[in-house]
Amino acid sequence: MHRVTGRQSVRTARPWLWTALAVAVVGAAAVWVVRPDPAACHSEPAADSPVLTRTVIAPSPAAPDPVPPLERLDPPVPGEARYYAFGPGVACSIPDLPLDGFYVGVPTSEYAGSSVCGAVVELGGPLGTVRAHIVDRCPGCAPGQYDLSTAAFARIADQHDGVAHIRLRRISNPVPIPEVLYRVKDGSSAHWLGLLFADTGNPVSRVEIRPDAGGAGRALTRGPDNYWSVSGAGPGPFTASVTDTEGHRVDIPGITVSPGAVRRTGVGMYRFPELAPAPAATATAPVTTPPPASCS
């Protein structure tokens, strides 16, 4: 603290002194920069001195735009929508559905024995659009008529109208990509096994299982409740190979015969295509040292 005070006193009393010192320092620095080391003027590099090399990586091309979504939307088809008080007991048996979610019940002809369970559709109405999951069957609906959960209907039409003309578009590979879950059906055992797969993005089209310990695979049969079942599979644990309607397949290991168990798998049925990194051209160039400045 005393030093700082002393400098400040000198600076205040003798500004001309600080100016002179600054000029002297700058001048000395300039001389130091341009004056070569005297030793460098008279010494020669050793003949066996190693030549340093540097790897030069060619600049990569500009990064492309983000990968476009995998989604594919079918052409819209006209339809008619009503709404109902949604409950958890849906025909597709999907567990733990929030009661305020966006869901659709389709006519029996479109339900097709549960083959559309889990599909995602875009519904457009007088007030806007909404995305919803097909999770239920509407026995009283004619072709082109759909039952919507109250929350979904309210997004596209006025509830007081009761009925709305809509446009329905099927979405393949919806994003964000969900995490697959499965449920082991109540009553499952080593003699009979029932499995349900949900949050697959696209409907499931095929399920096979094989024992984790090794052995032949078995194809499961889909029921109208959206469960896939097989008889005499054994005690497990199993690996299930699940294929969706777009041809994506994922293997889910460690499935045990635990009736009622619901498990998240940590995987999605599909993913964005990975960007292939651009090949980096490399070249090796010597690191050259500039010649010493002249001593004259």
**pLDDT on residue 8:** 40
Mean pLDDT of 50-63: 34
End-to-end CA distance of the chain: 48
- 287 dihedral zone (left: phi>0; alpha: psi -120 to 50; beta): beta
pLDDT in tens, 156-196: 999 999 999 999 999 999 999 999 999 999 999 999 999 99
In this structure, are residues 252 and 242 in contact, taking their beta carbons and an 8 Å threshold?
A: yes
Whole-model pTM over 0.75: no
In this structure, are residues 148 and 79 in contact, taking their beta carbons and an 8 Å threshold?
A: no
In this structure, are residues 287 and 69 in contact, taking their beta carbons and an 8 Å threshold?
A: no
Q: Which residues contact 49 (CB under 8 A, 6 or more apart)?
A: none
Q: Which domains does the chain have, with CATH numbers?
A: 72-172 (2.40.40.10), 181-264 (2.60.40.760)
DSSP state string for 201-220:
SSPEEEEEEEETT----EE-
Both tokens assigned to 195: 């499995």
Q: Report how far apart, in Å, the C-alpha atoms of 188 and of each of 94, 167, 195, 228, 252 are.
A: 17, 41, 9, 11, 18
pLDDT higher than 50, residue 280: no
Q: Report the alpha-carbon distance of residue 130 to residue 122 in Å, rounded.
A: 6
Both tokens assigned to 134: 């097909």
Whether omega for the bond prior to residue 237 falls within 30 degrees of 0, making it cis, is yes
Mean pLDDT of 18-43: 37
More confident of the two residues 7 and 129: 129
